[in-house]
Amino acid sequence: MADVKNLVPPSGSHSVIAAALALAVFLSLPAGLAAAGAPEAFRFEKLNRAYSDFVEELAPIGEEGMSIQLTSPSQTMILRDHRIRLSPLGPAKDGAFSGEVELDIQGKGALIADVVMGPIVRQLTDEIVVPPQTLRLAGKVRIRRVADGYEITPDQLPSRIEVAVQSRTINQILAL
């Protein structure tokens, strides 16, 4: 099996886990966090669980004369543990925070690759494995208290997230 780094844009259906984690974190913030001034660390045990079938179609890959359309009809990602750190960036009233989320993950899923290379057309299927690894994501957000919780506005998020995967299909594509 090949070990590769898969670059996943943190947008759309790819960010389901990250969005759920961020929402749970910020909805649970203590009212005095912004006034504290020091970094705060959070963990939410209920978030450490399996997440299933959160993505179907991945962004196509292609250049002149070649294209690869990837789909994943089923997958499971296990969030084994996580750590969240938030640090106020300025006065308490503006609600600006820098933050870091560490996610300990592993998982697996079905992969279908429709490959077109000039006259060669192939459909490859495989089960991919996401070996145990830790993802580190840093960003900046604004948090504002509203009547029924908190409103979170991202100011800066990673443009991509690297996830290591193992796949025989990737070896087959590279051999074409």
Residue 161 banded pLDDT, cuts 50, 70, 90? confident
| DSSP-derived secondary structure for 67-79 | EEEEE-S-EEEEE
Distance of CA 3 to the CA centre of its chain: 19
The pLDDT score that the predictor gives to residue 60 is 85
Nearest one of 129, 118, 133 to 170, comparing CA atoms? 129
Per DSSP, the three-state class of 134 is strand
Give the count of domains, the chain: 1
Residue 160 banded pLDDT, cuts 50, 70, 90? confident
Rounded to two decimals, the pTM is 0.69
Range of the domain at 13: 2-175
Q: What does the DSSP 8-state code read for residue 28?
A: T
| Chain segment 131-150, per-residue pLDDT in tens | 999 999 999 988 888 999 88
The pLDDT score that the predictor gives to residue 4 is 41
Per DSSP, the three-state class of 169 is helix
State the Cα torsion 21-25-26-30 to the nearest 10°: 180
